[in-house]
Chains A and B, each alone.
Chain A
Amino acid sequence: MMPTRAVWMGLVGVWSALALAALGVCVGSTGFENLIGPLWSPASHPDQAAMAQQIVWEIRLPRTVGAWAAGALLGLAGAVAQGLFRNPLADPYLLGSASGASLGVAMALVALGGGAGMLGGVSMMNGGVAVGVFSSALWVRIGLTGAGFLGAVLAVLLTLMLSRGAGHTLRLLLSGVVVGVVLGAGTHLVLLFSPDSLQAMQAFMLGSTAFVGWTSATVMLIVWLACWLLAGLLARVLDGLSLGDSTAFSLGLAVTPMRAALVGVLALSTGTAVAQTGLIAFVGLAAPHLIRSLIKTTHAHLMMLSSLAGGVLLMGADILARGLIAPQELPVGVLTAVLGGGYLLWLMHRGQTQTGGAS
């Protein structure tokens, strides 16, 4: 039986990921170097082999795999978000998770710096509250990663509370925007206490795969698998919702609890990706569009293909980030914007030049 188009695309996605992984292993602080030879047959390149082994297995490979996993998480979250809100402009950060994660990281940065910055004179908050929130021991245990994840998840919970459940899409969207704006302002306020953290904060806001090791990569892969399975179970709901709330309900779907579950998937996947790699823009927005421009399919296939596309996109951006000005690095968020945004621009241009089609 002829494999369907979706299966072909899936295979393309997997093969590109493998090819990029091989490339990623060769690109590092010295630019591009062909390590496939020394790794494959260490005997023929003895001097290169030892250093190559350590660099590749401990640094480059986990980083490349982690980039794929983060991209897959964001691609999946993007597909879920666009299905939930029936809006092609939706991205995974819509429900306030980006601002929540930023606030969490900002508070952790300030706390890890010992709350310094409240210099001399009178501090803005009287002793007790300030010290409690910024007490270092707690924050060291949670770490920046934990702070980012907690921030993202708590922000989405706040959005759900504000919109009083997942009953109405518009109310959910509005609450998400409000929470995003308020928490974003809170982040700026917190950074006022510690302007030295601004550079570290900027690194977070632009996203970075620099410190992704095997632990991070494994965590992200496991979370991706779980989210994909859960989202796969709920894919039918997204399909039904694409015909409108009334029709979905008439088809026997328990719309509200399932929508809440999808919001949960969104929060978990986005929170994990953001905690490990910071705020990487455009992957969640561009990946589903990329797939939809190539194939019209139900959400079950869309979410898997979107994950694959997101993974490949972020892997490519990560390789470029380290390779272009080695040994310096570009922020990976800038490259995803260029790659993803460039593709969207081309899509729009192609859409405009294609006149006609049914009205």
Chain B
Amino acid sequence: MTRCLRGVMGWVFVCLPLLSYGVTVTDDRGVTVTFERSPQRIVSLLPSLTETVCELDQCHRLVGVDRYSNYPAMVQRLPQVGGGLDPSVEAVVALRPDVVLMATSSRAAERLQALGLKVVALEPRSHKDVQRVMMKIGQLLEVPDAQKVWRAIDAGVSAAAQSLPKSVRGTRVYFEVNQGPYAAGESSFIGETLTRLGVKNIVPADLGQFPKLNPEYVVRANPDLIMVGQRSAAGMAQRPGWAQIRALREQRLCVFPVEQANVLVRPGPRMAEAARLMADCLSAKASEKTPDAKGRKP
């Protein structure tokens, strides 16, 4: 009986805002934010949210971004209001936004809300998150075909996976995020992309998302291919014992310059592009199977 009552109440609450033709969204902090009409002036303080807004074709609604949002190109012409974690509150307020999109991990939310701005905190961290965030923003901006946009992205990832020759499936990959060495595990965003591409990650899910590994582990695991950002790539072959790793012996290294590394690391609507970047490199480097020193085929 109480359940029925709760259901009725729920419908009433859902219908109420509809009755007022407003928009309601619950963000990742669990805060429900109501708008009388879909926000027209948006400040985005997280690059992946900026990219999501533009992917949904609402780039024209952006009036300000953080200093790290740099895609697509038109966003670079917008006024920058500081970092994502430490935005210039004054600059944000001066832009008179209808909503501020930011990460959940920023302290500025309380300050901005205290000044009367509406804050929606969303932070995509996995593949599922990207879809969820895109749907939320679609709902917020009243974009009717958000689902279609998502399906296109998802299809892009599948296409990248299918573009890989059969011989590449099952390649054992090590993805290094930073010197340390910090690796991307199976459960991280990058790891999920790799899994969808059909390759194996030498770092299993139980080690966490970005574990700091003992470099000996990588030597023992002997990955077939190493993916690394340009910054960390310097001096990899000189690490003690690493020269023997198959990937380094046979020069099967995917070194991503910084702009590409950004695409790979940010969970956002460019994940199809990320998958394509990885797939291209895998096809190029992992496909030729050379026999090892003892003449045995791997």
Q: Which A residues are within 8 Å of any B CB, using their own CB? A: 28-30, 51, 54-55, 58-60, 62-63, 109, 112-114, 116-117, 119-121, 140, 143-144, 195-197, 199-200, 203, 208, 210-214, 322, 326-331
Contact = CB atoms under 8 A, between A and B. Distances in A.
Interface stretch (B95-103, B112-120, B233-241, B289-297): B233-241
12 contacts: A29-B214, A59-B215, A114-B257, A119-B70, A196-B258, A199-B177, A200-B178, A203-B179, A211-B215, A326-B214, A327-B213, A327-B217
A35 to B, nearest CB: 12
B76 interface: yes
Interface string B67-81: 111100001100010
A117 B262 CA distance: 10
A322 B220 CA distance: 15
A59 B219 contact: yes
A327 B219 CA distance: 12
B67 A120 contact: yes
Contacts of B69: 119-120
Interface in B55-100: 67-70, 75-76, 80, 83
B92 to A, nearest CB: 16
Of A143, A208, A327, chain B has the most CB atoms within 10 Å of the CB of A327
Contact of A211 (B182, B231, B239): B239
A113 B231 contact: yes
B139 interface: no
Nearest to A113: B231
B164 to A, nearest CB: 28
Nearest to A216: B240
A58 B177 contact: no
B207 A328 contact: yes
B295 to A, nearest CB: 18
A120 B180 contact: no
B240 A214 contact: yes
Nearest to B244: A54
B10 to A, nearest CB: 42
B254 to A, nearest CB: 17
Contact of A203 (B75, B80, B180, B240): B180
B259 interface: yes
Contacts of B132: none
Contact of B215 (A51, A140, A210, A330): A210
Interface of B: 67-70, 75-76, 80, 83, 177-182, 207-208, 211-217, 219-220, 229-232, 234-235, 238-241, 244, 257-259, 261
Contact of B258 (A113, A208, A327): A113
Contacts, number: 115
Contacts of A60: 216
A330 B214 CA distance: 9
A328 B230 contact: no
A109 B239 CA distance: 17
B70 A328 contact: no
A116 B257 CA distance: 10
A199 B182 contact: yes
Of A28, A29, A62, A120, chain B has the most CB atoms within 10 Å of the CB of A120
B216 A59 contact: yes
B214 A210 contact: yes
B67 A119 contact: yes
A329 B214 contact: yes
B179 A140 contact: no
Contacts of A196: 178, 231, 258, 261
Nearest to A30: B220
Nearest to B233: A112
Given A195-B68, A199-B178, A210-B181, A55 B232 contact: no
B220 A55 contact: yes
A211 B177 contact: no
B220 A328 contact: no
Contacts of B220: 29-30, 51, 55
A116 B261 CA distance: 11
Contacts of A208: 180
B177 to A, nearest CB: 7
A106 to B, nearest CB: 12
- Please list the 3 inter-chain residue pairs (A to B) with the smallest Cβ-Cβ separation, ordered nearest first: A213-B240, A120-B76, A29-B217
Contacts of A214: 240
Of A199, A212, A326, chain B has the most CB atoms within 10 Å of the CB of A199
Contacts of B232: 200
Nearest to A212: B240
Nearest to B179: A200
A258 to B, nearest CB: 39
A30 B221 CA distance: 11
A214 B241 CA distance: 10
B122 to A, nearest CB: 20
Nearest to A66: B240
A62 B215 CA distance: 13
Nearest to A140: B234
